[in-house]
Chain A
């Protein structure tokens, strides 16, 4: 019971701090700030007397649950931070109810949310791709998480083209 209570108290604390920071000023790099907040709360718990009487095995269980639930939150948050064209469209159609929307309004709505240009811009912003003479080329080595994703993806076979 101690493992559950401690983990959810820490998660609630981290979430409240994240909320306070977000309400004061929205961080420029939100995912990074979120990871930092959740890590800082856990590090503070480990370093303070509150953790003192917790047995080692419980500490390890708490760590595993805390880290995995925190990652779940960060992953879910990335969907909140970004803008999913599909969910935006479903939301808009749900608001229109019986009235519905004509095709041209749907097209206009979706074209406002560019798939490719936004992703190319993100690749350039993160320094993975650069533009030279109107051509996109790879810039340096990709980051470790990116290499892990690509490496793991190759286990399934070649990556198909197109959306």
Chain B
């Protein structure tokens, strides 16, 4: 039995919209959490919003949709909704993260806030290449991703290494180069 076919007669809009309703819940909770901490716990708000959406989605799947027992079709139906929700949440995370951490957005906002424009020197006060590099190295060292011993840097925690390897393997495979500097 196709769960979508059966439920289409009863609650077709909920069947279709459940991942989007869960995403709306995710966005709402994430904004409330972030504002309640005055913007100081961005990642926690993202995780909180995401989990709220997962709970909302599971509640909808198992109460409102009333799947008729455990069948492969029912599992496939829930899988579609869960995958759609995960995909939408990933898009939302990247969209929000763009506004949160993108240097491009920050530079643009600062230029937009200055009617006479900004000189290179003005921008270098806040976006000095060396200062950004030092800050990046400090963050990596503080998080334990890199360690310094006897004046040399080494990989510390391994968590970023597989990500880097996958990205560079994909770059090599798709673009036939390791980076834009090769």
Cβ of A31 within 8 Å of any chain B Cβ, yes or no, is no
Residues in A neighbouring B153, C-beta threshold 8 A: 93, 100-103, 106
Q: Which residue of A lies closest to B120 (CB)?
A: A134
Interface positions of B from 144 to 180, Cβ below 8 Å from A: 145-146, 148-149, 151-155, 160-161, 163-165, 167-168, 170-171, 174-175, 179-180
Partner of A156, one of B19, B39, B77: B39
Q: Which residue of B lies closest to A87 (CB)?
A: B164
Contact across chains for B126 and A93 when beta carbons are under 8 A apart: no
Please, how many angstroms separate the alpha-carbon atoms of A64 and B105 in the complex? 29
| Known contacts A55-B8, A115-B129, A136-B123, A93 near B180 by CB under 8 Å | no
| Known contacts A159-B105, A159-B106, A90 near B164 by CB under 8 Å | yes
Partner of B175, one of A7, A26, A88, A117: A26
* Size of A's binding interface in residues, CB under 8 A: 79
Cβ of B94 within 8 Å of any chain A Cβ, yes or no, is yes
Residues in B neighbouring A113, C-beta threshold 8 A: 181
Please, how many angstroms separate the alpha-carbon atoms of A88 and B137 in the complex? 13
Binary A-proximity of B124-148 (CB < 8 A = 1, otherwise 0): 1011111111011100100001101
Residues in B neighbouring A116, C-beta threshold 8 A: 103, 107, 123-124, 127-129, 132
Contact across chains for B179 and A100 when beta carbons are under 8 A apart: no
Cβ of A69 within 8 Å of any chain B Cβ, yes or no, is yes
What are 9 sample pairs from A and B whose C-beta atoms fall under 8 A apart? Answer: A3-B80, A19-B174, A22-B175, A61-B4, A64-B19, A75-B94, A86-B140, A103-B151, A115-B127
Q: Given A80-B170, A117-B129, A119-B103, list of 14 further CB < 8 A pairs?
A: A3-B80, A57-B4, A77-B174, A89-B146, A91-B164, A96-B154, A116-B107, A136-B123, A138-B111, A146-B108, A153-B99, A153-B105, A155-B35, A159-B105
Contact surface of A with B, Cβ cutoff 8 Å: 1-4, 7, 19, 22, 26, 55, 57-58, 60-61, 64-65, 68-69, 71-72, 75, 77, 79-91, 93-94, 96-98, 100-103, 106-107, 110-117, 119-120, 122-123, 128-129, 132, 134-138, 142, 146, 149-150, 152-153, 155-157, 159-163
